[in-house]
Homo-oligomer: A and B are copies of this chain.
Amino acid sequence: MGNSFGQLFRITTWGESHGGGVGVVIDGCPPRIKLTAEDIQRELDRRRPGQSSIVTQRDEPDRAEILSGLFDGQTLGTPIAILIRNQDADPEAYKKIVNIFRPSHADYTYEAKYGIRDWQGGGRASARETIGRVAAGAVAQLVLRELFSQFELVAYVTQVHEVTAKIDSRRVTRGDVERNAVRCPDEAAAKMMMQLIDRVRSEGDSVGGAIECVIRGVDPGLGEPVFDKLDAELAKATLSLPATKGFEIGSGFAATTMRGSEHNDQFETRDGRVRTNTNFSGGVQGGISNGEDIVFRVAFKPTSTIAREQQTITSAGEATTIAPGGRHDPCVLPRAVPMVEAMAALVLCDHALRQRAIRVEERT
């Protein structure tokens, strides 16, 4: 259990990194949404390996096949099943670590939980698992665009190790983000990040960083107190991604050193509607969207797989060393950008549908 996400727009992902493929079933997509395989492929291409020199060189075309739920180019309201075959799987490369627990990987914990694990490439703990999420997130974004005419969703790298970028979350566009391979819209910082990633890779090491995500144009009223608050759901959604260590919304951890008199977002009437004059809340108050930009950040650890030799133990408990090799990202951040966007879209779409079920203006 645990492979489904969402209440009304509900996805179930499946697949190991080296089995027959990976995929997703979307249940609850509203009918009559225009959808093509290309809409999905566009997002998968942003996530896929081998897209630039700074990411893993595993060669996976990651072609999505839509198996159901579509008719004449529109959704039917029935489950949308999407299949992506694995192709460049290389189980041989993993044979030497069959009985070794890689440090900070999920090898040991999967063994402890299930008493069995697929040692070929990480199984479900592989980043390949996120393909289904990204495919479903592409569909969620189409739904959101139909529900909210002003809807925009942009994530971007704000930090790689100690290189931090300056980005105005109110203005950044997806075009800005896609301008470079590291997906950081601050060009100067991006250049330094790419150099750093190259250097780290050459040293057989890896680095972490942070991604920020901004969502514009959703109505006030999304989010379901008290447990399914919008911020709580975004946190769960993004921290279910591999390699994540932290989440903050609006002021985030910086709020800990602020006073109420600084932090409170004062209301005003602007553009003919209720607005706040600051946005420390990050677009969510009491767990419900307030119409301001929703802004959150996610912390990623350095990739666990590094070329350097490390101490570890075998599954029999004996000390050994490991130097994995294989094809890996020295920094997951650039490819994680579409993953964060997908998870955000899934949360927003689910809550938009949940709000439709009870919303007031439709009954009166």
Residues of B close to A257: CB separation below 8 A: 161-162, 208
Instruction: Return the CB mask of A1-17 against B: 1 if under 8 Å, else 0.
Output: 11111011010111110
Residues of B close to A147: CB separation below 8 A: 363
Give Cα distance in the complex from A233 to B67, angstroms: 28
| A–B pairs, 29, beta carbons within 8 Å | A1-B228, A2-B228, A3-B227, A4-B227, A15-B68, A25-B25, A30-B357, A76-B118, A78-B225, A103-B264, A104-B265, A105-B286, A108-B220, A112-B291, A113-B223, A125-B225, A125-B287, A161-B257, A200-B259, A227-B236, A227-B240, A232-B236, A235-B239, A239-B247, A246-B249, A248-B253, A256-B300, A280-B301, A354-B357
B77 and A312 contact, CB distance less than 8 A: no
Residue in B16, B101, B231, B274 whose beta carbon sits within 8 Å of that of A313 in the complex: B274
Residue in B13, B114, B228, B304 whose beta carbon sits within 8 Å of that of A77 in the complex: B114
Q: Is A355 part of the contact surface with B, judged by Cβ < 8 Å?
A: yes
Residue in B115, B206, B267 whose beta carbon sits within 8 Å of that of A31 in the complex: B115
Q: Is A288 part of the contact surface with B, judged by Cβ < 8 Å?
A: yes
Residues of B close to A179: CB separation below 8 A: none
Q: Is A184 part of the contact surface with B, judged by Cβ < 8 Å?
A: no
Residues of B close to A358: CB separation below 8 A: 8, 28, 30-31, 77, 114, 353, 356
Q: Is A154 part of the contact surface with B, judged by Cβ < 8 Å?
A: no
Which residues of A, 327-358, contact B by the 8 Å Cβ criterion? 353-358
**Further 5 A-B residue pairs, CB within 8 A, beyond A16-B69, A23-B67, A232-B239:** A1-B7, A3-B225, A74-B116, A239-B249, A245-B252
Q: Is A289 part of the contact surface with B, judged by Cβ < 8 Å?
A: yes
Residues of B close to A300: CB separation below 8 A: 255-256
Q: Is A326 part of the contact surface with B, judged by Cβ < 8 Å?
A: no
B220 and A109 contact, CB distance less than 8 A: yes
Residues of B close to A262: CB separation below 8 A: 302
Given contacts A71-B118, A357-B357, contact A363 B239 (CB under 8 A): no
Q: Is A137 part of the contact surface with B, judged by Cβ < 8 Å?
A: no
Q: Is A209 part of the contact surface with B, judged by Cβ < 8 Å?
A: yes
Q: Is A360 part of the contact surface with B, judged by Cβ < 8 Å?
A: yes
Given contacts A108-B274, A114-B32, contact A357 B353 (CB under 8 A): yes
Residues of B close to A256: CB separation below 8 A: 159, 161, 208-210, 245, 299-301
